[in-house]
C-alpha cells in the first residue's frame, strides 16, 4: 500500500513552525494538536542555503524516539528519489497530554538522533520511558480524535495533515490496550468531550477513544477483556463494560453487569445513564410495541435518578429530555431541556502557525479520479445567497448542538405551531408578564398594541432578539419587511413567504424578573400568578429564534421548489447552496429532502459532505452497491488530501462485510468501472477488517 503524498508548507523564517508550537504549549487544554514534522532542506549545489518546510501528521507510532526517527527517514527516501534538494535534518514534535510536555526527536542526516522534551516554559527535560508510554497513548487517541468522519470537514480545518491508522494489526492493538490499561485511572487528566462538565474515570478522552476504537473495529472481545480486568479495581468501569457488551449484542450479560454494579453504587450517574439509554432504545423497537410504555417508564426512572446523581452534567438532563420526547410528554420535555446546564464549546487543540511562504499540496497518481480532482476548481466563484450563510444553527457544537437536536426532533414530531403553544403553556411570556405586572396607563404605542404571536414570516419590524452570549453576534432575523426569496429568476411570481412560519413571541428571562424586582419573595409571588410557569433560560430562547430562522428558510426553499415544478421551470442553485440546504434539511430531521439536496449538489460537482450525507441513506436502506460506490469515492478523496484513515469509513466497510461477506464486497469493489489504483485504496480498508478477523471475513 503506497503512503499518502507529503504536503509541504515552507517557512518564511527558519524554524518558525517549531517556535510557534512552543509558544502555544501553555494554552493547550485537550489532547494537543497533531504532531509537527519540520525538515531542513538543502540543494547539493548550494549547501549554504537552507529551507525549512513542515507538515502535520497523526497516527505515527510514537512509542519511542526510534519509531519517530524512522518516520523522518522514510521522508528522506522519498525526497532523494523525487527531488533536486535533500533533507539534512528533521524534528518530530509529539505532545504528551498527561505530563503536558512536547516530546521532540531531532534527526541529523547522516548522523545522530537526539530525543528530549520541552515543558510549557520552554525548558528542556529528559525523555524517560514512562513519558514515551504516555506519549504513545496520546498519539493513538489523537489519531482517532483528529480523523475525518468522511464528510471532509476535519480535513478542511487544518491544512496539510497526513493521517495514518495507528492500530492496524492485533499486535499493535495489544500494545495500545496494554498502555491504556496501565494509564487508565489517569485518563481524567486528559480532559473530556465538551458535553462533559467534570472528567472522571469513565468519562474522559481516553475512555471516549477506547469506545470509538471498539465500535469502529468490532474488536468487542478485546474491549470486554480490558474492562473486565479494570472493573476488579473500580466498580465504575462497569458502565464501560456494559457499553461494549451492548455493542457486541451481548444484551443479557450487559444488563446483568449493570444490575449487579448499581446495587454496589446506586448513584453512579454514568451507569444510570447507560441503563436509561438502553431502555429507551429497547422501548422504540417496532417489534415489541406493547412493551413500549413499560420500558419508557423504566428509562424515565433511571434518567431521573441520574440527574439527581449528577445535576451539573448536561448529558443526564439531555437524556431525561429525550425520554420525555419518546413518551410524547412535550411539556416535561421542554421544561427538562430548559434545566440543562450549558457549557461553552471547547474545540480541539489546533496548530497556530505563521503564514507560510509557500504551500505545496501534491497529488499522487494513485488517487487520480477526474470527478474528485475537479472539485477545488469547480468550487471557485460559486454564488451563495446571504440568507443561507447566516443560519446560526450550522455553527452549533457541543451542548448547544445536542439541545438543538432535541428541539428539532420535537418540531419534526408535533409541528412548529404546536411547539409554540407548549412553549407558552410552560414558560412565562413577555406579553402576559407585562400585562400582569405593569397595567397599561393611557394610550398604548403602536408597538405595545401588536401581539408578538401574530408576527409571521412576512413580519413587520419587531423588538430585537434577546442577546445570546453563547453565539456570534450575527444579524438578527427581525426587521425584515418581506421574506426574501432564495432565487429571483425565471419569472416566477408570488413570494414563498405565503407559506408562513409563525415567529416565536418573547418569553421572560430570569434576569429580567430579577432586575425588575430584587426581592426574592416578591418575585416568587409574581410567578405564582402564572400557574407555576417557568422562566425560559436565555440560551433556550435563542434556540427558538435560531430554529425559527431554519424553518423559515426551509419553508421558502420547499415552497419555491413546488412553484417552479408547477410551472415546469428549472430550480437553479449553486453546489454549495445545495450542500447548505441538505445540511439544513438534515438538522430538521427531513432526511428525504436532505438527500434530494445532496443529490442536486453532486449533479454539479463532487462534494464529500453531500456524498457522506447520501451514504447514510444507502446504509439504512441496505443498498450495498451504492454504498460501496460512495465509499470508494470518499476513500479516494480522503487519500487525495493525505488521509488513509477514517474510522467512519472503516466502520461502513466493516458493516458491509458483516452483512454481505468479504468475498461479495471485494467483488463489488472490483466490478466498479473505476481505475484499479483507486479501487486498491478501498481494498486496503477491507484488508484491515480481515487483519482484525471481523465478522464476515472468514470466507
pLDDT reading at 446 higher than 60: no
Confidence category of residue 440, pLDDT binned at 50, 70, 90: very low
**What is the tens place of the pLDDT at every residue in 80-114?**
555 678 999 999 999 999 999 999 999 998 889 99
Which three three-digit cell numbers place residue 553?
428558510
Closest by alpha carbon to 544, among 496, 513, 505, 581? 505
DSSP, res 574: -
Number of neighbouring beta carbons within 10 Å of residue 311 = 12
At residue 221, the pLDDT reads: 97
Which three three-digit cell numbers place residue 278?
438502553
pLDDT > 70: percent of the chain: 86
pLDDT reading at 461 higher than 50: no
- Span 33-39, mean pLDDT? 97
Confidence category of residue 488, pLDDT binned at 50, 70, 90: very low
Which three three-digit cell numbers place residue 119?
515543558
In whole angstroms, what is the distance from residue 509 CA to residue 403 CA? 18
pLDDT reading at 433 higher than 90: no
Percent of the chain that is helix, strand, coil (3-state, to 5): 55, 10, 35
pLDDT reading at 241 higher than 50: yes
Please list the residues that pair with 546 across neighbouring strands: none
In whole angstroms, what is the distance from residue 177 CA to residue 342 CA? 33
At residue 485, the pLDDT reads: 52
Half-sphere exposure of 425 (CA within 13 A, CB side): 12
**What is the tens place of the pLDDT at every residue in 256-273?**
999 999 999 999 999 999
**What is the tens place of the pLDDT at every residue in 549-601?**
999 999 999 999 999 999 999 999 999 999 999 999 999 999 999 999 999 99
Q: In sequence order, which residues have a C-beta less than 8 Å from that of residue 375 and are 6 or more positions away?
A: 605, 606, 607, 637
Q: In sequence order, which residues have a C-beta less than 8 Å from that of residue 391 and are 6 or more positions away?
A: 549, 550, 553, 580, 584
At residue 490, the pLDDT reads: 36
Confidence category of residue 245, pLDDT binned at 50, 70, 90: very high
Q: Are 424 and 505 in contact (CB under 8 A)?
A: yes
**What is the tens place of the pLDDT at every residue in 343-357?**
999 888 999 999 999
Residue 169 preceded by cis peptide, ω within 30: no
DSSP H or E segment with residue 684:
helix 676-691
What are the two backbone dihedrals, phi and then psi, of residue 39, each rounded to the nearest 5 degrees?
A: -120, 145
Lowest mean pLDDT among 72-86, 191-205, 277-291, 597-611: 72-86
Quick one: residue 44, left, alpha or beta (phi over 0 = left, psi -120 to 50 = alpha)?
Answer: alpha
Confidence category of residue 4, pLDDT binned at 50, 70, 90: confident
Secondary structure of 383-440 in the HEC alphabet?
CCCHHHHCCHHHHCCHHHHHHHHHHHHHHHHHCHHHHHHHHHHHECEHHHHHHHHCCC
In whole angstroms, what is the distance from residue 217 CA to residue 220 CA? 8
Quick one: residue 396, left, alpha or beta (phi over 0 = left, psi -120 to 50 = alpha)?
Answer: beta
At residue 498, the pLDDT reads: 41
Q: Are 214 and 244 in contact (CB under 8 A)?
A: yes
**What is the tens place of the pLDDT at every residue in 186-214?**
999 999 999 999 999 999 999 999 999 99
Counting every residue written for the chain, the total comes to 699
Please list the residues that pair with 43 across neighbouring strands: 46
Closest by alpha carbon to 257, among 273, 243, 238? 238
At residue 456, the pLDDT reads: 26
pLDDT reading at 606 higher than 80: yes
Confidence category of residue 47, pLDDT binned at 50, 70, 90: confident
At residue 427, the pLDDT reads: 94
- Span 485-506, mean pLDDT? 57
Half-sphere exposure of 452 (CA within 13 A, CB side): 18
- Averaged confidence pLDDT in the chain: 88
For residues 506 and 615, the model is more confident at 615
**What is the tens place of the pLDDT at every residue in 114-168?**
999 999 999 999 999 999 999 999 999 999 999 998 888 888 888 889 999 999 9
In whole angstroms, what is the distance from residue 362 CA to residue 343 CA? 40
In whole angstroms, what is the distance from residue 38 CA to residue 24 CA? 16
At residue 127, the pLDDT reads: 95
Confidence category of residue 410, pLDDT binned at 50, 70, 90: very high
**What is the tens place of the pLDDT at every residue in 506-532?**
898 887 776 555 555 656 666 666 768
At residue 693, the pLDDT reads: 87
Closest by alpha carbon to 660, among 622, 615, 688? 622
At residue 376, the pLDDT reads: 61
Secondary structure of 316-347 in the HEC alphabet?
HHHHHHHHHHHCCCHHHHHHHHHHCCCCCCCC
At residue 451, the pLDDT reads: 30
pLDDT reading at 619 higher than 90: yes
Which three three-digit cell numbers place residue 480?
425584515
Amino acid at each position: 500500500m503506497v503512503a499518502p503524498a507529503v504536503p509541504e508548507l515552507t517557512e518564511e523564517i527558519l524554524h518558525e513552525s517549531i517556535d510557534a508550537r512552543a509558544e502555544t504549549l501553555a494554552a493547550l487544554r485537550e489532547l494537543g494538536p497533531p504532531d509537527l514534522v519540520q525538515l531542513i532542506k538543502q540543494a547539493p549545489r548550494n549547501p549554504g542555503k537552507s529551507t525549512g518546510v513542515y507538515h502535520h501528521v497523526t497516527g505515527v507510532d510514537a512509542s519511542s524516539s526510534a519509531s519517530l526517527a524512522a518516520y523522518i527517514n522514510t521522508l528522506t527516501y522519498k525526497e532523494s528519489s523525487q527531488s533536486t534538494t535533500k533533507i539534512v535534518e528533521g524534528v518530530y514534535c509529539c505532545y504528551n497530554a498527561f505530563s503536558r510536555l512536547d516530546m521532540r526527536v531531532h534527526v541529523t542526516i547522516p548522523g545522530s538522533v537526539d530525543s528530549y522534551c520541552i515543558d510549557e516554559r520552554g525548558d528542556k527535560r529528559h525523555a524517560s520511558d514512562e513519558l514515551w508510554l504516555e506519549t504513545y497513548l496520546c498519539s493513538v487517541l489523537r489519531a482517532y480524535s483528529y480523523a475525518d468522519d468522511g464528510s471532509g470537514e476535519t480535513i478542511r480545518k487544518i491544512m496539510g495533515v497526513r493521517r495514518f491508522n495507528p492500530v492496524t494489526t492485533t499486535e499493535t492493538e495489544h500494545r495500545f490496550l496494554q498502555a491504556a490499561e496501565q494509564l487508565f485511572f489517569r485518563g481524567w487528566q486528559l480532559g473530556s468531550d465538551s458535553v462533559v462538565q467534570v472528567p472522571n474515570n469513565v468519562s474522559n478522552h481516553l475512555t471516549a477513544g477506547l469506545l470509538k476504537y471498539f465500535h469502529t473495529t468490532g474488536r468487542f472481545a478485546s474491549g470486554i477483556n480490558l474492562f473486565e480486568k479494570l472493573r476488579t479495581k473500580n466498580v465504575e468501569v462497569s458502565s464501560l463494560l456494559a457499553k461494549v457488551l451492548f455493542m457486541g449484542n451481548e444484551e443479557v450479560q450487559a444488563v446483568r453487569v449493570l444490575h449487579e454494579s448499581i446495587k454496589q453504587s446506586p448513584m453512579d450517574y454514568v451507569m444510570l445513564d447507560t441503563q436509561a439509554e438502553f431502555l429507551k432504545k429497547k422501548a422504540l423497537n417496532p417489534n415489541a410495541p406493547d412493551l413500549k410504555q413499560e420500558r419508557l417508564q423504566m428509562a424515565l426512572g433511571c434518567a431521573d435518578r441520574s440527574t439527581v446523581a449528577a445535576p451539573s452534567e448536561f448529558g443526564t438532563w439531555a437524556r431525561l429530555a429525550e425520554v420525555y420526547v419518546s413518551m410524547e410528554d412535550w411539556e416535561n420535555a421542554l421544561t427538562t431541556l430548559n434545566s440543562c446546564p450549558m457549557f461553552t464549546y471547547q474545540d480541539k487543540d489546533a496548530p497556530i502557525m505563521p503564514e507560510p511562504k509557500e504551500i505545496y499540496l501534491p497529488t499522487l497518481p494513485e488517487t487520480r479520479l477526474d470527478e474528485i480532482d475537479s472539485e477545488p476548481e469547480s468550487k471557485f466563484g460559486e454564488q451563495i445567497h446571504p440568507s443561507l450563510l447566516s443560519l446560526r444553527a450550522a455553527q452549533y457544537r457541543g451542548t448547544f448542538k445536542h439541545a438543538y437536536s432535541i428541539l428539532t426532533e420535537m418540531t419534526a414530531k408535533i409541528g412548529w405551531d404546536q411547539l409554540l403553544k407548549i412553549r407558552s403553556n410552560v414558560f412565562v411570556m413577555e406579553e402576559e408578564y407585562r400585562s400582569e405586572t405593569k397595567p397599561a396607563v393611557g394610550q398604548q404605542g403602536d408597538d405595545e398594541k401588536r401581539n408578538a404571536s401574530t408576527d409571521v414570516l412576512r413580519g413587520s419590524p419587531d423588538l430585537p432578539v434577546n442577546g445570546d452570549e453563547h453565539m456570534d453576534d450575527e444579524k438578527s432575523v427581525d426587521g425584515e419587511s418581506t421574506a426574501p426569496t432564495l432565487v429571483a429568476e425565471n419569472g416566477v411570481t408570488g413570494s414563498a413567504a405565503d407559506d408562513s412560519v409563525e415567529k416565536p413571541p418573547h418569553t421572560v428571562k430570569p434576569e429580567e424578573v430579577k432586575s425588575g424586582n430584587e426581592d426574592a419573595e416578591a418575585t416568587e409571588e409574581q410567578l405564582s400568578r402564572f400557574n407555576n410557569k417557568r422562566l425560559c433560560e436565555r440560551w433556550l430562547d435563542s434556540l427558538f429564534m435560531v430554529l425559527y430562522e431554519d424553518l423559515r428558510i426551509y419553508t421558502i426553499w420547499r415552497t419555491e421548489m413546488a412553484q417552479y415544478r408547477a410551472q415546469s421551470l428549472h430550480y437553479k442553485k449553486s453546489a454549495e447552496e445545495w450542500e447548505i440546504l441538505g445540511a439544513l434539511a438534515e438538522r430538521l430531521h427531513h432526511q428525504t429532502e436532505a438527500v434530494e439536496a445532496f443529490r442536486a449538489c453532486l449533479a454539479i460537482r463532487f462534494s464529500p459532505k453531500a456524498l457522506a450525507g447520501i451514504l447514510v441513506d444507502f446504509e439504512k436502506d441496505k443498498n450495498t452497491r451504492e454504498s460501496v460506490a460512495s465509499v470508494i469515492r470518499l476513500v479516494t478523496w480522503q487519500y487525495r488530501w493525505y488521509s488513509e484513515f477514517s474510522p467512519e469509513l472503516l466502520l461502513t466497510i466493516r458493516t458491509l462485510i458483516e452483512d454481505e461477506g468479504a468475498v461479495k464486497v471485494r467483488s463489488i469493489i472490483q466490478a466498479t468501472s473505476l481505475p484499479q489504483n483507486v479501487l486498491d485504496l478501498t481494498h486496503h480498508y477491507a484488508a484491515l477488517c480481515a487483519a482484525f478477523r471481523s465478522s464476515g471475513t472468514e470466507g
